[in-house]
Amino acid sequence: MFTLSFDVLYDFTIKQFNSHLATQFGIEETFHFENNCNFLGIISQPPAALTKVTISNDNVLDYKFLQQVKQFEDSINCTCIISFTDFVPLDHKSQFRNSNLVRYLNYDLNILTTFLFLGKLSKINHLIEYAGSLNVFILHDDNLELEGSTSLNLQSISTITDASSISAFIDYFLVQNSLYSYPIFIAISDLVIYTLIFGLGLFLYLTIANNHKIRSNIGLLFGWIIDVFVCTLASINVVTVFHRYQTWNLIIEPSTKFTRITIFIIVAMFSARGLFNSIEILTDSNESDIHKKLFQYYSGFKKILPIVSKTLATSLLGLSSLILIGIIVLYCCFQGDFLQSMLSRLSILGQICFLALIFEYFMELTFIAGIIVVDLKKMSLTDAIQDSNSSTNEISTVLLKLRYPSHSRPNEDSFRYKVGQLFLRTSFNKTTEVILYVLGLLLLHGIFIHWSLIMPKKDRIINLQNLQIINNTHTIIYFLEYALIIIFILAIAGIIFRFNPPNPIKSTTELSCQDFVENEKQFNSISLENGHSLDIVKIKTNSKCSFVVTIGLDHKVLIWSPLSKISKPIDISSKENGKEFWPINHVAISEDGDFIILINFKFGIIKCFNRTDMVFTWIHQNNDFISRNNKRPKILESFFRKKTVPGFLARQMLNQMKNDSRRGSDVSINGNFPPPPISMKSFGEQQREIAREPTPDNQLNKDEFVIVLETGALIVYSCNDGKIKCSNIITSLYGHDTTLKVLSAKKLRTPRINDRIICQIDNSDLIVATVINNIWKFRKLEVKQGKYNQENKINQTISPVTVKSDYDFGSAYKEKSAPILEEIKGLKLNVACLVPLEFLGMVVVVKNLICELIDIQTGIVLKTFNIANFKPNSFRVTHSEPTHCKFCGCASISTLTIVYEDFDSKTIITQTYKIDEQRSKSNICLRVERDPREIRCLGLNAVTEHQYWYRNIVSWEMTDVNMIIGIAKRNQIDNDEEETVVEVVEKTSGKRDKFDQLIENRGLMSLRNRRKHSKPEFKLLNDIYEGFIITVSDGKRNNYQLPPVTSGKLRDFSHERINAIEKYGFKSIICNFGNLLEVYYLGNDKLIEQDIYYNPDIWSQDNKSNGNKQTDRPPQNSELLFINKRRTMGKRR
């Protein structure tokens, strides 16, 4: 970069140094402008003509030749003559030497004035040594006869008579020689630009110092200023060569001090953000290894480009918008040839700034990064001792007198104290960026004003573009100076690294990219954006479907496909009778994603959208869905199901198969059983899929949408044609003269058993609705308390010896019921709810502060659990992967877990039940009709409770793989994760807390939470939230970093909140941050699985995707193959 800028830098440094060095020796001649012309009068009343006379000679920079020119000028009768001789003392008393003239031309005279008078220049080492022509400008009213009036070689004579051109020439000449007609404006401009330089330097220093990460703040700032200066000069040199200008001066001249300095300030303002980003990354306190910091710095953007590449793109975009605004302003203010000249100058200015920012980007990666790294290595014991002095910037330290005793410090109301505090809070943020952009816009307008004053309005006489430099050479001295500067730079760098040697690498092994991966674990994510313009309020998913439905405050209803390469959503918002179909009170999506149901309680309308045909297939208005007396109907359960195929039709379809086909041994088709899951793709299933095609009747195997209302109404809609079947669960069993209501209802789908709905009535009855041949049948479930693990009745056929046996094993496993306190009898703290365990064919029923695990087939209560007060809709029950009981062959699980969120706080409570005995029969056998004399396997009566609490949780969901995945607040320490172990034989507590203590301070919780918060600062996603996964089998919690949002611009999450979260697939969640959707998961990207218990390869695929590294997931036994064992063996063959 120094080499690129050396040609321009030479004129600012070495050339000026040589000039002052030359004046120290020999006789210095005094040069000044002497002319008796009345320029102000000429501008107001210009003469009739302006004649330019070009005189040629071998070298016009000669004393005797200039005297001849002076004699020629004196012989002309005219109004005024402007010539180079006006600057040179030519009286005979002067001891004039040609070397003094050359020095004056190169160091003192304005460069454009030199180009105005001289032509055919010859330069050596950037110094004008010879000139072949001299221009003389004559202002006159009468005709001039110059031919033959002198012995000088008059090369050319040109005359103009346009009064405006003459005035423009005089004005241009006065400006270039600092004979301004507006000195006050120029002085004010110089004062403004110097003040701006001071202010910008002060701001940069305070921002760097207030980060408290750089030891030598002044050194870094000085190095960065040199960096910007060199990069700008390099860009000027490159633009000069690209446009083939004779000298770099022509691309920025004519100029003033304001216009020249403004170019550097604009480059500095747009590149300042890159400096602060480099400091932030390379001085990150979370990473101590400098090699990892550098790796992140050089590959942090898209894992390919340096992390400051994004800053460069933003700066270039901002500069482009600035230039565009400048072009618009020029078109509004100027016209004609002068407009074209201004646009050409603006184009050159834009090219210089663009190249300077690009050059500065590369200098940040090398020069600035090197300065920061060297600064980091300067930390020593002295820094630790003087930490209190260096923790605050020096200016604030002086203003606030921090080194003085506290009693001598300024008052808080004083101006000095306020300024000191202001300097302490100075930082680079979004507001600062806007201010700098506006400041750059004002500076650009200032440049336009200066250009309009100093640029020639008419270029005919001046015509600097035709300047000829016939010779431009360099001698050995020029290259020697360049070499000496390079040697000096290398010597300084060597001294720096000698006193700051690099730390030796502990290991000689070669470093790889894997060594630089951050230690903090991170979720994988799928971002869904550009859908909603306002916050999302509801998300609906189906764990067996990849599609997602979202509802936003912008009244949009969108269908997303996160696993598709095309992330653009489908908008299914609609109107009904000319009115917007809003609000959407209920939404549901089928398992294959083909049908979406929307229900509106305001109009009582239900609509079905067919995603395949992209139309609403049917619309119905149902009085059961209309709100009455400000009370909305309550949908307790809704789901999609496939119609079952009658047995005679199934046999007819099987007869249509090919002769060589056979039925799969893993399924039996009849009228009472629905088709098996989609994942069970045996040979027979493939044939059944063929049979389900439109032959012989395409009206079969349709989807149905089932709704259960609080009133007991069970409504079935056909998804294809909208046909309705209605029945009532309560009236069918209790008659019409009843006021009973359904408290909770859940579907129960167990393999090879008809679909069922379990309903909890407000009289504590349980009703089971079973579908038989697509018709729903209802029955009461007799709940049998105390029947689990009891001795069976003796059959008369058993031998007398066995009948007379006095052995009684039932008492060994009898549970003692805890008495209920009088204070809490009849008080309902928890809402009634049901949680089905579909694969096990069981249900957990919540009854106030207890819940019961009930077998649906027999009604036997297997276990009663004590629970706390939980938030509505937060109760979950999960279990480990089912497998065989090794002794009796029934299904068994290793753990059963109850999960809920505490009512009064953001705390998740998990109650895990498992057998702690370290032996082969550690699984919980789920055989319902157990005999107490069974000693080979243990049931739920032998489990131990393990309780874990997790605080500061924002949102969470239970996955299908026995884990909790969710979002928590970052930087909030949870020291209260407690584990309480309950003995196998529960004992009644002698003393119980009163109910008053249970609800202590309940009414004051809202008052405690009413805190006034100040305006939130700009924060990224990971500054606020972090992900977590809890393995409920052992209570282990692992925190994960959330992947950054990869949108085009930085997003402020300080005001974003999570309104909705849903389980997505079998191991991931989908949640919103405002109008942004994010899918979070761990492991591979296989998120949808129809039946995870039938697929033993799920976890092996996850391990393979993570390089076979140990994960934090629970071990999966993959032993549940008794349902599809023959199918698996068939695949192996």
Measure Cα distances from 279 to 242, 295, 658 in Å.
34, 14, 73
What pLDDT sits at residue 618? 93
Q: Which residues, in sequence order, are CB contacts of 882 under 8 Å at separation 6+?
A: 839, 840, 891, 892, 893, 926, 1093, 1120
Distance, in Å, from the CA atom of 1039 to the CA atom of 952, rounded to the nearest integer, reads: 13
Look up residue 296 and give its two tokens.
């992140």
Cis peptide before 583 (omega within 30 of 0): yes
Spatial separation of the C-alpha atoms in residues 1 and 266, rounded to whole Å: 19
Both tokens of 599, joined, read 């229900």
What's the pLDDT at 154? Answer: 83
User: Does pLDDT of 173 surpass 60?
Assistant: yes
Name the amino acid, one letter, at 593.
G
Residue extents of the structural domains in the chain: 2-181, 184-376+392-474+480-484, 634-643+702-774, 647-691
Q: What mean pLDDT is predicted for residues 119-140?
A: 81
* Residues whose CB is less than 8 angstroms from the CB of residue 865 and which lie 6 or more positions away in sequence, other chains included: 850, 851, 852, 853, 898, 911, 913
Structure tokens, 700: 């079969």
* pLDDT of 956 over the 90 cut: yes
CB distance 1024 to 1054 below 8 Å: yes
Which residues pair with residue 876 across a beta bridge? 899
pLDDT band at residue 806 under the 50/70/90 scheme: very low
pLDDT value, residue 426: 83
**What is the reported pLDDT for 668?**
41
CB 223 within 8 A of CB 291: no
Q: What is the pLDDT of residues 341-380, one digit of tens each?
A: 888 889 989 999 999 999 988 888 888 888 888 777 765 4
Better-scored residue on pLDDT, 1096 or 583: 583
In sign, the C-alpha dihedral spanning 883, 886, 892, 893 is negative
Count Cβ atoms below 10 Å from residue 999 Cβ, excluding itself.
15
When mean pLDDT is compared across 240-244, 520-524, 970-974, the lowest value belongs to 970-974
The Cα angle at residue 765 between residues 763 and 767, in degrees rounded to 5: 135
Q: Which residues pair with 847 in a beta bridge?
A: 850
pLDDT, average across residues 772-792: 85
Could you tell me what percentage of the chain is helix, strand and coil, using 3-state DSSP and rounding each to the nearest 5? Answer: 35, 25, 40
The reported pLDDT for the residue numbered 1009 is 43
Closest-CA residue to 268 (of 224, 219, 234): 224
Q: Report how far residue 775's alpha carbon sits from residue 725's, in angstroms, rounded to the nearest whole number.
A: 9
Whether pLDDT at 67 is above 60? yes
The confidence score (pLDDT) of residue 990 equals 38
Average confidence (pLDDT) over 1109-1129: 46
Residue 1123 clears pLDDT 50, i.e. is over it: no
pLDDT at 431 over 70: yes
- Give the model's pLDDT for residue 662: 46
pLDDT of residue 758: 96
Averaged pLDDT for residues 740-744: 94
Q: Which amino acid is at 574?
A: S
Kindly report which listed range (15-29, 464-478, 771-785) carries the lowest average pLDDT score: 15-29
Average pLDDT over residues 805-810: 41
| Nearest to 928, CA basis, from 962, 882, 898, 892 | 892
Element (H, E) at 113: helix 111-117
Within the chain, what is the greatest distance between any pair of CA atoms? Answer: 158
Q: Name the helix (H) or strand (E) containing 610.
A: strand 605-610
Mean pLDDT of the chain: 77
- Do you find a cis peptide bond into 819, omega within 30 degrees of 0? no
Q: What is the pLDDT of residue 546?
A: 92
- In this prediction, residues 702-728 reach a mean pLDDT of 93
Interval 74-118: pLDDT, tens: 888 777 888 887 777 766 545 556 666 777 777 767 677 777 788
- Alpha helices by DSSP H, listed for 393-550, are 394-400, 415-424, 430-454, 476-499
Tell me phi and psi for residue 452, to 5 degrees: -65, -25
Asked if 588 and 638 touch (Cβ cutoff 8 Å), the reply is: yes
Rounded CA separation 1030/959 (Å): 10
| pLDDT of res. 999 | 37
Between CA 889 and CA 883 the distance in angstroms is 9
Average pLDDT over residues 1083-1090: 85
E strands within 66-200? Answer: 80-82, 118-124, 127-140, 153-160
| Choice between 208 and 919, residue whose per-residue pLDDT is larger | 208
Give the Cα separation of 626 and 628 in Å (integer). 6
Q: Measure the CA–CA gap between 729 and 780, rounded to whole angstroms.
A: 10
Better pLDDT: 283 or 956: 956
Q: Beta strand pairing status for 118-124 and 469-473? A: parallel
Dihedral sign computed on CA atoms, order 6, 10, 13, 17: positive
Rounded to a whole number of angstroms, the distance between the first and last alpha carbons of the chain is: 69
Give helix 369-376 / helix 257-282 axis angle, nearest 10°.
50
Beta bridge partners of 130: 122
| pLDDT band (50, 70, 90) for residue 865 | very high
Strands 49-56, 153-160: pairing is antiparallel
Residue 1122's pLDDT band, with cuts at 50, 70 and 90, is very low
Q: What is the pLDDT of residue 997?
A: 39
The angle subtended at Cα 640 by Cα 630 and Cα 663, nearest 5°, is 170
What percent of the chain stands above pLDDT 90?
A: 24
Mean per-residue pLDDT for 381-403?
A: 63
CA distances from 757 to 174, 778, 838 (A): 98, 9, 11
Cα-to-chain-centroid distance, residue 869: 38
Task: In whole angstroms, give the CA distance from residue 151 to residue 64.
Answer: 14
Please give the C-alpha separations between residue 77 and each of 41, 138, 144, 285, 371, in angstroms, as whole numbers: 18, 10, 8, 81, 66
pLDDT average, residue stretch 514-533: 76
Tens of pLDDT along 628-660? 777 888 999 999 999 887 665 666 666 665 444
Q: Is the dihedral of CA 730, 734, 738, 740 positive or negative?
A: negative
Are the C-beta atoms of 115 and 467 separated by less than 8 Å? Answer: yes
C-alpha span between 483 and 476 (Å, rounded): 10
Please tell me the least confidently modeled range out of 167-171, 440-444, 530-534, 1098-1102.
Answer: 1098-1102
